[in-house]
Structure 1
Amino acid sequence: MLPKIFWSKPKIFIAKKMFNNKLLPCVEKGYKWYVYYYYLNPYNNKLQKFKETRGINRFKTVEDRTRSSKNLRNAVERFLLDYNPFEIKEKTILFNNLWSKPKIFIPNRYVNGKLQIDENEEWYVYYNFFNSNTNNLEFFKEKFIYQTENVSERIIALDTLRSSVEQKLVDGYNPFEEKKVFTMNEEEYIEYLKFKLAENSSKSYFSPLFKTTETENILSKCLKELNVIDKENKASKGFQSACNSFWIVSNYIKYRNVIYKPNISKKDFINHLNEKYYANISKKSRGTLSVAKSENNYLLEKLIKTYTHNIK
């Protein structure tokens, strides 16, 4: 999960000195004031302290320095709404002297005094690439197109996209190179589309529940064998009981790690049934299904054993 705290509210450090047995603000030489805040370091997942002075110590009275410090504090807070100090301050490391490591951008917004993830703004992966014609680094981004209301699922999918972009760059991709144009006849084009479809289903597939499209299809095949979904893949009589049997059998140790992703729950399974098979299982019964039938368990174990063996 993404940590709840990205950065702390900026505060003013006021240097103080004892005057007549009282600790009071001091603007004498060597007594430095500054604005400080903590920001989540993306490399070690810990909060790191930052300090800003920006000329506030030029003021020689407590009143002027206090006013200047408050202005700086407000400016830093506005800055943190749009910028990441790690992106501003760190040197860009280029791999192969050409590109920077792709990173994830997740938009945030300030709501009622708290920083929250903004699900409506654009999420994307970005990187810099060296333009040999201008001798400058240029900014590129890969748009994030997976849509879900679940923030955790979005982050997982976005990280998958980041890994894919990085692998593309490692393999020699150059965004400045002209794309080669190929011509193909109708038969070649049909074969090309089939190839791309197979490639996308195996490499770009994302599900919060199943590991691959093949393992997701195991459920679909089993439900068809039990005749509990219609031609339009909608749930029909006996659907819940059959699904409960599938959940029980598929969670046997020898099958679970093949079919499902880690740490999924029965609620995740039921969400999938509602979305794909229009099961319409109410929220009140979320986490439960109709009683499984022993004959279904027996048949499903035979089917799952066959299907999982074929994908290993």
Structure 2
Amino acid sequence: MILITNHRYQITLWSALLLVFVSVIIALSCGRIYYSPVEIGQTMLAPQSNPVAANIIFNLRLPRILGALLIGAALAMAGCAFQSVFHNPLVSPDILGVSYGSAAGAATAILLGSGIWLTQTLAFLGGVLAVVLTLLIARILNQRGTLILVLAGIVISGFMQALVGLLKYIADPDSQLQSIVYWQLGSLAKIDFPSIAAVIPFLLCGTIILFILRWHMTILSLGDQQARLEGINVEIEQLLIIAASTFLTAATVCLSGNIGWIGLVIPHIARLIIGANTKRALPLAAILGGLFLLIVDTLARSLSGGEIPLSILTGFIGAPLFVYILMKKKVRLN
């Protein structure tokens, strides 16, 4: 068990934030056109001095950087919260069907020929609807506990996955199908400041709830019986945490499409660094999640002439990293 003092914890957080700052400078510089940090500073202070650079920095790179930081942080926090609530280190933010529900909503909008705004809106509503259906199944069966929620989430995920498959089958292979597949693989290519502003309320709402309840998440991770002995209203707090995590996940998926591994791997890295106390792990996971996605997105738009889908890179990086974490922590799966 890792014991870390409050002083070391503060140093860890500030060190992580410093890495984020350095990564932002690198991300502003890198791309198909390279700008030195000096040119970046001059352009940001006097945009009129270099209109082309100003357009690239302010309209293309800054929205992507901000989006990567927000999306990575939200997915990492949602993963950290779900792993605590479901007492399972292998749980990810899409456990209740959010990702496939969002994919179904987005695919529907693409088939209707809708623009990016309606696509993002239906993606968000699809993710929320999937979780509502999951909770409704548990309510209809009159069952309580995390196991029934996981099973209901598997059912809804399977249904939504089948629905996405049907929509892909009837989609126009020359235009619509490519858009659906590309959206499912995740990208920040179409992100801008207005779309970020549209989901900020949901991100803030989810983040505030999780930060308020993070003191109880460590106790919830020990099991429902232990939590009740500590005076926690397990059902109410689980529902609040699930709702907050759903808002975070659905809001990020509607912005960037499905991006895997962040919500699964990053919480483990945070716990390896500062221990299992979710009160401390949640803020660090948020910072590391944003840092991770920022690095991945910078690579995605810099490694080749085309745009590499984010889930491809997160899979290549996240899968071996997760195997290392399992070996390091010796997680028992039985």
Could you tell me the TM-score, scaled by structure 1's length? 0.24
Greater helix proportion: 2
TM-score by length of 2: 0.23
- Higher strand proportion, which one? 1
Which has the larger Rg?
A: 1
